[in-house]
Each structure stands twice: as structure tokens, then as C-alpha cells.
Amino acid sequence: MVDLLKRLTEANGVSGNENEVRELIRQEVEGLADEIKVDRIGNLIAVKKGKSNSKKVMLAAHMDEVGFIISGIGDNGMLKFKTVGGIDPRVLVSKRVRIGSKRYAGVFGIKAIHLQEPEERENAVKLKQMYIDIGAKSKEEAEKIVKPGDYAAFDSAFVPFGQNKVKAKALDDRVGCAVMIELLKDRYDFDLVACFTVQEEVGLRGAEVAAYHIKPDMAVVLEGTTCSDVPGVDEHLYSTVMGKGPAISFMDRTSIGNKSLIKALTAVAEEKGIPYQFKKGTTGGNDAGKIHLSRGGVPSVVVSVPCRYIHSPSSVMDLNDFYNTQKLMYEFLKGCEIV
């Protein structure tokens, strides 16, 4: 499972450009799923037929990650860029990116501190002060390898460290993708429709389309979510705590979790002795926001793996939370009765 997570996080798939990660996932689920298809917006949908009925349980994890799109090339050969999805500009300076399908290297540059005006030094770095340096001497040289519209993704290796911890980019939401791939190894009473969605980071777009054509009877969204259990944050503002198990959401900006599903999940966790927590943060949103409002409504719930520093090149996760999320979901789906 760790190896799978490494492959998934090291593949690129900025929103709207999910090809590379989709191909990787397709290879992983071939042989596990009974049907695999890609819909018109680009979601990869893997179906595992049910043993005893044709009710549909939709699982959703998004394939896409936050990143950048090249918006122009300056006369000096430096690249202008726009962010894709929510990125804190302060995390960018001196970070490496890989541009386009050929993965050309680049680095975020900014003028040195001693050259900055006093007010520039006192304020947080702004996106417009930065550029991507690809080592080109001129516009002409840069244009040979990069063109406006090319995507760039963080260049960050998957690194195990500490006690069962890992550092990687895009744990939000490749960890959800990894859990879903694992769940496809088993067969359940109902049809399991595992949906690897596109464009979550720019507005839950893939999930909206997928839920409409899948018409599920219920849905579980698997996420890598914020974890703010760090110095300088009051305990009541910890959105989740790393190592305390999968986080079940009561509410966020885009949905209120279905109460019976929350109850069923916690009952399974208690019965099987799987640690879990409730997500305290109520900001942010995810694919459940669109899925639960699809057509006449779909009972939906969100289960997340806590990840520190999401939307940066170095998010940090406890592998035990990942294993326990997979375990909780497996037990839940095994005993799940759909009403």
C-alpha cells in the first residue's frame, strides 16, 4: 500500500490535466474492476459488480491536485504563471516544479531580500512578484520547450520519515485514490462504483457530472483533509489530529453529512476497534457538496485522512491513519445496508 501511495503522489495531475495520474490509476485498477470507463469530463470510473443486488454505492476520490498553468513567457525567458486551485503564495519561493508532459524543471524565483523595498519585506509574498525560472536565457530559448497553457506541478518526492510518517505532494487526494484502489480488491453485496474525479480543486466539477450519470443510491467521499495540530494553534481549532484515525465530517462549507451514515460509520469503528475522530473544522468543501445534491438528492458522507500542510509540495501524513481509513471503509462496506 505504501508503494502504491508513492506511485500515486509522484504522478502529476493538476486540475484539467489529469492524464498522467489517470493512466496510472487505470493500470492499477485493471484486473480489479469489472468495468472501467472514462467519462466525457475525464473522470475514471471503475465498477465492481455486486454479489446480491444492483444498488449503487458511489465512492469518490479526486485525482487532481493543485498546481500551476503557464500564462506567458517574459523577454528574459522567465515564465509567468497562474495558480490552479487554492495555493498559499508564501509556500512557493524556491520550490521546484515540473512543467509539461516532458517534466522540464523549473524553480520559483523572487528578487533577493536585500533588493526588496522595505514594504515588500514586511508584507507576505504575492504571486505577481514571482516567476518560474527554467534556466532559459531568452524568450526564444524558453519557447523551444514551454508554451503558454502548459501545466506545472510541484516536484516533490515521496519520503517516509519519523514513526510511520510520510511526506509527499498531492496527498490531497491521492491518499483517497489509494484507499479506493484497495477497496476494489473485494466484492460487496452491491455495485461499488469507484469514481476517480477530475477538477475537484477548481470547483468539484468532475463529481457533479459523475453523480449525475452514475445515479448512486448513496455515496462516500474519501479525502485527504486539513490537519492543524501544530504549534501556535489553539486546541479547539485543530481541524483534525494526525494519528487519531480517519476523520468523519459533520459539516463543511458544501455539505452536511448524512446522519444515518455518520452513525453507521461510528458504530462500525466502535465495534471493530478502529480509531476515528470527527473533523472539527467546518470550512472548505469537497466532492460531497455536488454529489449529495445530484438529481433528487444522494445520502452522502465524507471520510478523510488527516494531512498537514496540504496544497503545498510537502504534505505530511501518518500511515496508520491511511491504513485505518481503508480498514474502516472496508468494514463499513461489508456490513452496509442500503435503504
Q: Residue 251, by phi and psi: left (phi above 0), alpha (psi -120 to 50) or beta?
A: beta
The residue within the footprint of other proteins, chosen from 1, 159, 237, 338 (CB under 8 A), is 237
Q: Is 137 in the site for other proteins (CB under 8 A)?
A: no
User: Is the Cα dihedral 111, 114, 115, 119 positive or negative?
Assistant: positive
Q: Is 337 in the site for other proteins (CB under 8 A)?
A: no
Output helix, strand, coil percentages for the chain, rounded to the nearest 5: 30, 25, 45
Q: Is 179 in the site for other proteins (CB under 8 A)?
A: no
Q: Which of 170-205 are b and which e, b meaning 16 or more Cβ less than 10 Å from the residue's Cβ?
A: bbbbbbbbbbbbbbbeeebbbbbbbbbbbbbbbebb
Q: Is 262 in the site for other proteins (CB under 8 A)?
A: yes
Find the catalytic residue in 200, 201, 208, 223.
Answer: 200
**Number of neighbouring beta carbons within 10 Å of residue 160:** 13
Q: Is 259 in the site for other proteins (CB under 8 A)?
A: yes
CA pair distance 329, 302, nearest whole angstrom: 11
The residue within the footprint of other proteins, chosen from 53, 123, 230, 278 (CB under 8 A), is 278
The residue within the footprint of other proteins, chosen from 55, 96, 280, 331 (CB under 8 A), is 280
The residue within the footprint of other proteins, chosen from 250, 314, 320, 335 (CB under 8 A), is 250
The answer to whether residues 52 and 6 touch, using CB atoms and an 8 Å cutoff, is: no
Contact stretch for other proteins (CB under 8 A) within 118-126, 177-185, 199-207, 248-256: 248-256
| 28 flagged as catalytic | no
Q: Is 251 in the site for other proteins (CB under 8 A)?
A: yes
Binding residues for other proteins, rule: CB under 8 A, are 235-237, 250-251, 254-256, 259, 262, 278, 280-282, 292-293, 295-299
List the catalytic residues.
Answer: 200
